[in-house]
Amino acid sequence: MKYSTKSGDPYCYPDSTVLMNKFNITDLGHLQEIESEITYVKLAQLQKTPFKDKFDLRYL
């Protein structure tokens, strides 16, 4: 996923346009790789073990 931010944004790392994240990754390319890998694994888990309940507002 591409992000467009301005340098000096309070949600980005200092002197960077990379959004702050749980992994403290400051390199945009590396962050995109990690996000892609996590998404792939989570989708595979969801296909293997589908959500059993009705996922609606009441559930949330």
Q: Is residue 57 part of a domain?
A: no
3-state secondary structure of 54: coil
Helix (H) or strand (E) holding 1: none
Q: Count up the domains in the chain and report the number.
A: 1
Q: Is residue 55 part of a domain?
A: no
Largest Cα separation within the chain, whole Å, is 45
Q: Is residue 7 part of a domain?
A: yes
Q: Is residue 60 part of a domain?
A: no
CA distance 30 to 35: 9
Walking along the chain (60 residues) 10 residues at a time, the average pLDDT comes out as 69 92 96 98 93 84
Where in the sequence is the domain holding 30, given as residue range(s)?
1-50
The two tokens of residue 29 are 């390319």
The two tokens of residue 32 are 């995109």
